[in-house]
Amino acid sequence: MCPAKVMPEKRRVKIHMGPQHPSTHGVLHLVLTLHGERISKVECEVGFLHRGMEKIAENLQYQQFLPYPERLDYLSGLVHPMALCLTVEKMMDIEVPKRAAYIRVILAELSRIASHLLWLATHALDIGAMTVFMYAFREREAILNIFEMVTGGRMTFNYFRFGGCKQDVPAGFVERVNQFIYDFPSRMQDYETLLTNNRIWLLRTRDIGHLSAEDAINYGVTGSTLRGSGVDYDVRKEFPYSCYEEFDVEVPLSDRCDTYGRYLVRLEEMRQSLRIIKQACQNLPEGDIIADDPRVKLPKKEEAFNNMETMIRYCCSVMEGFSPPAGETYMSVEAPKGELGYYLVSDGSPKPYRLKIRVPSLLNLAPLDLMSRGHLIADIVAIIGTLDIVLGDVDK
Partner 1 sequence: MGLIENRFEKNVLVTTVDSVLNWARTSSMWPLTFGLACCAIEMMATGSAHYDLDRFGIIFRATPRQADIIIIAGTVTKKMVPPILKVYNQMPDPKWVVAMGSCATTGGPFKTYSVVQGIDKYLPVDVYVPGCQPRPQTLIASLVHLQDKIKAEHTIAKK
Residues that bind partner 1 (CB under 8 A): 19-20, 22, 26-27, 47-52, 55-56, 67-68, 71, 74-75, 118, 121, 133-135, 137-138, 140-141, 144, 154-156, 391-392
Reading phi first (left if > 0) and then psi (alpha if -120 to 50, else beta), residue 207 is in: left
Rank residues 71 and 278 by Cβ distance to partner 1 and give the closer one. Answer: 71
Rank residues 15 and 134 by Cβ distance to partner 1 and give the closer one. Answer: 134
Contact 100, 285 (CB under 8 A): no
Shortest distance in whole angstroms from residue 36 CB to partner 1: 24
Q: What are phi and psi of 239, to 5 degrees?
A: -130, 80
Shortest distance in whole angstroms from residue 60 CB to partner 1: 10
Q: What is the dihedral of CA 79, 85, 89, 95, to 10 degrees?
A: -70
Rank residues 153 and 220 by Cβ distance to partner 1 and give the closer one. Answer: 153
Q: 212-246 burial, b for 16+ CB within 10 Å, e for fewer?
A: eeeebeebbbbbbbbbbbbbebbbbeeeebbbbee
Shortest distance in whole angstroms from residue 137 CB to partner 1: 4
DSSP 3: G
- Strand order of the β-sheet with 338-346 is 327-335, 338-346, 354-358
Rank residues 75 and 235 by Cβ distance to partner 1 and give the closer one. Answer: 75
Angle at 193 between CA 192 and CA 197, to 5 degrees: 80
Shortest distance in whole angstroms from residue 244 CB to partner 1: 27
Rank residues 18 and 341 by Cβ distance to partner 1 and give the closer one. Answer: 18
Shortest distance in whole angstroms from residue 50 CB to partner 1: 5
Torsional sign, CA 195, 201, 206, 211: negative
Shortest distance in whole angstroms from residue 179 CB to partner 1: 17
CA distances to 54, 223, 281, 336, 372 from 362, in Å: 15, 12, 34, 14, 17
Shortest distance in whole angstroms from residue 25 CB to partner 1: 9
H helix and E strand count, the chain: 17, 8
Rank residues 22 and 348 by Cβ distance to partner 1 and give the closer one. Answer: 22
Neighbouring residues of 327: CB distance < 8 A, sequence distance ≥ 6 = 91, 345, 346
Rank residues 38 and 71 by Cβ distance to partner 1 and give the closer one. Answer: 71
Measured in whole angstroms, the distance separating CA 40 from the mean position of its chain's CA atoms is 31
Terminal alpha carbon distance of the chain: 49
Shortest distance in whole angstroms from residue 158 CB to partner 1: 10
Rank residues 49 and 281 by Cβ distance to partner 1 and give the closer one. Answer: 49
